[in-house]
Structures are given as C-alpha cells and as structure tokens.
Structure 1
Amino acid sequence: MIVDERIVAYIHSLAQDDCEPLMKIEQDARENHVPIVKKETKELLKVLVLMKRPKNILEVGTAVGFSSLYMNQYQPEDGRITTIERNAGRIAKAKENIKKFEKEGVIELLEGEAMEILKELQEQYDMIFVDASKGQYIHFLDEILRLLPIGGILISDNVLQEGDIVKSRYAIERRNRTIHKRMREYLYQITHMEQLETVVLPIGDGVTISTRVK
C-alpha cells in the first residue's frame, strides 16, 4: 500500500457502480487473485478515455479482459482495442468475457509474448495501456514509442511496486532485484526522454501518464 488505507477506502466509496456483468468479472478476478487494475486506477482510466476519446487503444496485458471491456465502454462508438496476453488460462477466460459482452469484433485479443507481437504491429494507437510483467516494461519501450503518435497517451500501471521502488536494491529480496532495477530504469527513461512528458501518480500501485510531444 503506497497511500493511506483510509483515503483509499474513502475514494472507493465515491466511485459509481459499473454495469452488473462487468462488476461480476471484476469481483471474480479479485477473489481469484487475478492481477487486474485497482479500483482507483480503473476510475483514472475512465477519465482519461473520456478526455482523450481514443478510437484505437493498445493494451499490453489482457488478464481476463476486464480493463479492455471497461475502457471500451467509454470509447467513441467506432472505438477498437487490441490487447495482448500470453497466459493460456487467462486467454481462455478473456475470450469468454469478450464473447459475453458481444465485443469479438471490437476487442482483438493477440496471443503470445508481448515483445514479439509488438514488433509485428504497424498501426498507430491513440492510447497505449501497459499492465504486464513489470520487469519487461523497459524492453517494450522502443516498440511502444514506434506505435505511439505525437499527442498519443501512454499509461503504465504498477510502477511503484507497493512502495518498494524507493528502497535500496539491497533491501529488496534477491529474487526481485532485477525487476526493481528495470522498473527504476523505466521510470527514469520515460521521465527524462525528450519524446515524452510524464507524470508519476501514487495511486493504486503507482501509475505513470505520458504524452508524446516529439
């Protein structure tokens, strides 16, 4: 937890309910410890989609399809989402959820390793949402920039690692040190590169919002 739990609980109390089937997907995912966006991050996504009105969204990390279905609610009517997932169990569940909402022609699920799929994509995306393996964000960056036009928005989730990001690497469990190092490198890169203007927000598990300016 990177912010006061009472504040988070209060923020949650202010949020409006989503449609019941979508709430059921969210509830099931949280009960089964599927890594989906936190509630306050979800609300941020809603506002960003409504502000930007992106017709073409790329998501790296589908999980069970919740965030794709959620964002699509607030896209323009002709909005589309391309989403990438490698976990077979989550792919099956995401397909089931996308079909349940009759969004097969709107949300395209690409199966496989994100890095390999990113290299093959040629479209430009108004908004890119990265919510995948935290140790891979830095490796995705060059391909993401290739797919993000000037004025496009990049949203990266889980960047503060429950507060561990501010700790010395020697205070981090040895098995997590590589991820810690790579995320620090990623945060430095996106906050210092001339192509992006970036803000780091301590909500959820940490979110960055970047807009491409060059």
Structure 2
Amino acid sequence: MTREKEIERYVLEHVDQEDPLLQELDRETHLKVLGSRMLSGHLQGQLLTMFSKMIRPGRILELGTFTGYSAICLAKGLPEGGKLITIEKNDELVDLAQKYFAKTGLQSRIEQLVGAAVEIIPTLSDAFDLVFMDADKREYSDYYNLIFDKVHSGGYIIADNTLWSGKVLDAPVHGDDQTLGIIAFNEMVKNDSRVEKVILPLRDGMTVIRKK
C-alpha cells in the first residue's frame, strides 16, 4: 500500500462513520451505474455536510445530482424550512436518487430538476447561500457566470474536480474539452476580484469560493 493510500485509510478511520444509507447508495451505484467513480464518497461527503452545517444555508443549488449522494450530504445541513434544488441532465438516474432521498427522510427538502443546467439556471428565481458544482466540466465557466448574481453576498460556491486528476498541470490533449473547461474556470476564478477562493487538494480537487 502506498503512503498516500495509508494516509487516506488513516483519515477515514478517524472521521465519523459513513451513514449506513449512504453506504447502501454507494454500493448500489457501483453495482448499477456506469461511471460510478463520479459518486462523491465518504470523505468528500463528510466535508460537504460539514460545510453545509457551518454555513447553515437556507437555499442550496447543486449542479449534477448523479445518484444523490452529495445532495443528501448537503441537505443534512439545511435548517428547518431550507431547500436544496439539484439539477441532473441524465433522466435515467432520477429514480435511484429519489429512492434514497425518501429513505433518508430528506425528500421534502430536495427538489430535483431534470435537464441541462445552463438552460434551467436562468429560470430559477431563488437566491442561494451555497452552490455545489459537479456537472459538465466543459460548462463550469458558464455555470459560474449564470449563478453568480443568484448567490448572496457572503455566500459560497464549491466547485468539484478542479484539479482534474492532475491534468491541469499538463498541456491539454487536442479535443480534451473537459480539461480545457477546468483550466479556463480555474483561471477565471483566480482573476475574479469579487470573490475569495481556496483550492483543497482533496480527491480530485475542490475549490471553495466566497462571494464578497
């Protein structure tokens, strides 16, 4: 076992245990869904829950539901009357996510929308305290521009996969639009004086952005 894997195991042994329902969702996702590695997983899920409980957001927007793991983790920090809107373009994943929203008892706090985020975001009238971006990497800059005015001052945007398996360090391969999208997004946020930002080297990278 590599040193990195040993450290990861040590960390997981010293944080709160994974919710049994999230363990079940993790297993079912890996058994039934292609691209199961996109699921947030225990450590990142714990961090999202911690962020949500610290921020105490009244409204959360999530871009990229997948099978619902991260939505459940984020929704755990909602106060009474809070709401999470989550957008997923793959309609084949809706039933699986909805099943676990119900199992966790959070279905009344989670509204799931199906379609392209770039088309749905302009239709939303809510203002958000927390946004979690984990959808099409080619469109990260578009998401950022579309949601920015819908985020309260002092609110947060968390963008996942911003180190993109280290590909941000290399010259992008021709046609690798996902990597190009992440690099363009990172540069845009770096140069945006309207926000404070930090990149956490957790898993595939997570950028935490605070709107001034």
The structure 2 residue matched to 1:121, chosen from 120, 124, 128, is: 124
Who is 1:150 aligned against? 153
8 Å contact from structure 1 (residues 38, 204) kept in 2: no
Provide the secondary structure at the position in 2 that maps to 1:126.
Answer: strand
Who is 2:134 aligned against? 131
Matched, 1:193 2:196: no
Using the alignment, how far apart are the partners of 2:75 and 2:11 within structure 1? 23
Using the alignment, how far apart are the partners of 1:205 and 1:38 within structure 2? 12
Using the alignment, how far apart are the partners of 2:200 and 2:107 within structure 1? 33
Structure 1 residue 175, shift from structure 2 partner: 4.0
Provide the secondary structure at the position in 2 that maps to 1:83.
Answer: strand
Please list every run of 5 or more consecutive structure 1 residues that lacks an aligned counterpart in the other structure.
none
Structure 1 residue 15, shift from structure 2 partner: 2.2
Provide the secondary structure at the position in 2 that maps to 1:159.
Answer: coil
Structure 1 residue 116, shift from structure 2 partner: 0.3
Using the alignment, how far apart are the partners of 1:52 and 1:20 within structure 2? 25
Please list every run of 5 or more consecutive structure 2 residues that lacks an aligned counterpart in the other structure.
none
Who is 1:112 aligned against? 115
Deviates more, 1:113-122 or 1:75-84: 75-84
The structure 1 residue matched to 2:63, chosen from 27, 40, 60, is: 60
Fraction of identical pairs, as percent: 26
Query: Which has the higher relative contact order, 1 or 2, with Cα contacts under 8 A spaced 6 or more apart?
Result: 1
Q: CA RMSD in A?
A: 1.7
Who is 1:8 aligned against? 8
Using the alignment, how far apart are the partners of 1:7 and 1:175 within structure 2? 35
8 Å contact from structure 1 (residues 191, 199) kept in 2: no
1:60-119 deviation line (CA, Å, top 9, x unaligned): 001111111122223223221100001021112112222333433210001111100011
1:120-143 deviation line (CA, Å, top 9, x unaligned): 112110100001111111111111
Task: Identify if the C-alpha distance between structure 1 residues 63 and 107 changes in structure 2 by more than 3 Å, giving closer, same or farther.
Answer: same
Using the alignment, how far apart are the partners of 1:102 and 1:145 within structure 2? 30
Who is 2:49 aligned against? 46
Task: Identify if the C-alpha distance between structure 1 residues 9 and 18 changes in structure 2 by more than 3 Å, giving closer, same or farther.
Answer: closer
- AA aligned opposite 1:18: E
Provide the secondary structure at the position in 1 that maps to 2:208.
Answer: strand
8 Å contact from structure 1 (residues 197, 212) kept in 2: yes
Paired residue total: 207
Deviates more, 1:195-204 or 1:32-41: 32-41
Who is 2:93 aligned against? 90
Deviates more, 1:204-213 or 1:96-105: 96-105
8 Å contact from structure 2 (residues 58, 81) kept in 1: yes
8 Å contact from structure 2 (residues 39, 69) kept in 1: yes
TM-score by length of structure 1 reads 0.89
Task: Identify if the C-alpha distance between structure 1 residues 151 and 37 changes in structure 2 by more than 3 Å, giving closer, same or farther.
Answer: same
Structure 1 residue 149, shift from structure 2 partner: 1.2
